[in-house]
Amino acid sequence: MKKLTDKNKRFIFGLIAIIALIGGWFMADGTGSEIQLKDILPFETQYVWMMKQARTILETYHVNGDKDKKSDEELFYGAMKGMVAAWGDPYSRFVDPNELKQEEIDIEGEYGGLGLYIGSRDGKILVVSPIEGTPADKAGLQPMDEIVKVDDDVVLGWNINDVVEKLRGKPGTNVTVWVRREGHDELLRFDMTRELIKIDSVNQKRLTNDVAYIRITHFTQKTAEEMQRALNTALETKAKGLVLDLRNNPGGLLDASVAVADYFLDGGEVVSIKGRVEKANEVYEAKPGVLFAGPVSVLINEGSASASEIVAGALKDRNRAVLVGEKSFGKGSVQTLFKLPDGSGLFVTIAKYYTPSGVTIDGVGIKPDIEVKGKYTGDLKDDAQLQRALKEVEGLLAKASDK
């Protein structure tokens, strides 16, 4: 597997497809920029003057002007968020120093929230997937639900970062979320209580004597290590085939997704990223040799995004696995963090990623080899997608034994 240089690690900051995690965002460590700040021109004087005029008008005429008067810092941070939002990219965003500190804490994998990943598409805030066992999952929120209202606030047109902040909070506090779901004429209401979310990214079980099952819920700093242990357990117990479940997996760290794909690929390309500047162009390759060489079926659905699409796309393009389920979410852009002098940060989309065949799935998604409608349950008895994935692996094992 091709290693990132320290220089690139500082530049490529984290999520291949940054999907909002209510209570936090997964990020890689490092940041950096070689932009020469002295060469950056300021705004034209007329626009600075207009901002000053607008502030004076607000402070003079707003009905709550004296009561709600804002500090220079508050107004500046608000202006920064507005400027980045005006760029039109829902995944480029500004965070103030307190928000950035909270995100750096949240990367440890514990936070107060609902356990809900969200994304933005066509101006809508959509559920990418709830995390198993969390308040969002227990309440019944589903991928592609459109979040319309949180408590008393209608969030239509809101910046995704503001929706994240609205949904997260201290464990034990209550929140009501209203969503629009396809096939329903009226908004659906979900009353939930925030919890301290702790996430294990990999779990496993046995489907048959010959076929193991491994589910990855998202890609964190610990996923590669957890996945290696799960595969070693499968091999030690004589598993000959594997069902890898990436349904409702909203993604996570680029390095983790490359490492997981590496366990199944004997060298060659896993994914490439391409952007405007040289540092945003990289090809990630697997090491020679494989950890698990048996037949593999990968489960995906519309809740599979980002890093999970990297794994699915690599295994599909390299003819290493059969994909079963429904088309994935389609989030394939790279964000990097630029830290600003006051401790605030600017996340900027700097590249898109491409599967080994040169296809970008951003806004499109990955189509499974075998389309099967259904919902994730993880129970073989009532999970049609899982049943079909198992059937595919058993068929490949049968063909191998006939040779």
> For the segment 134-161, what is each residue's pLDDT rounded down to a tens digit?
999 999 999 899 999 999 999 998 888 7
Percentage of the chain modeled with pLDDT above 90:
58
Most confident option among 4-8, 60-64, 355-359: 355-359
| pLDDT for 110 | 63
335, 338, 348, 20: which is closest to 166 by C-alpha?
Answer: 20
Burial grade of 113 (CB within 10 A; 0-12, 13-18, 19 or more): buried
Range of weakest confidence among 102-111, 134-143, 360-369: 102-111
CATH 2.30.42.10 for the 109-198 domain, yes or no: yes
| Annotated domain spans of the chain | 109-198, 202-402
Q: At CA 21, angle to CA 73 and CA 389, rounded to 5? A: 160
Q: Span 120-134, mean pLDDT?
A: 86
Give the separation between CA 294 and CA 368, rounded to whole angstroms. 20
Q: Among the listed ranges 23-37, 196-210, 286-300, which one has the minimum average pLDDT value?
A: 23-37
pLDDT greater than 80 at residue 293: yes
Q: What is the pLDDT of the chain when averaged over all its residues?
A: 86
Weakest-pLDDT range from 197-201, 313-317, 391-395: 197-201
- Does pLDDT of 8 surpass 60? no
Percent of the chain with pLDDT over 70: 86
Select the more confidently predicted residue: 286 or 89. 286
What pLDDT band is residue 14 in, cutting at 50, 70 and 90?
very low
> What is the mean pLDDT of the segment spanning 311-318?
98
**Residues carrying an active site annotation:** 306, 317, 331
Query: Could you tell me which of 378, 356, 134, 361 has the C-alpha nearest to residue 246?
Result: 378
Please say whether the beta carbons of 332 and 362 come within 8 A. yes
pLDDT, residue 112, reads 84
CATH architecture assignment, domain 202-402: Alpha-Beta Complex (3.90)
Identify which of 84-98, 284-298, 368-382 has the greatest average pLDDT: 284-298
Least confident segment among 4-18, 153-167, 307-321, 322-336? 4-18
Q: Is 80 exceeded by the pLDDT of residue 363? A: yes
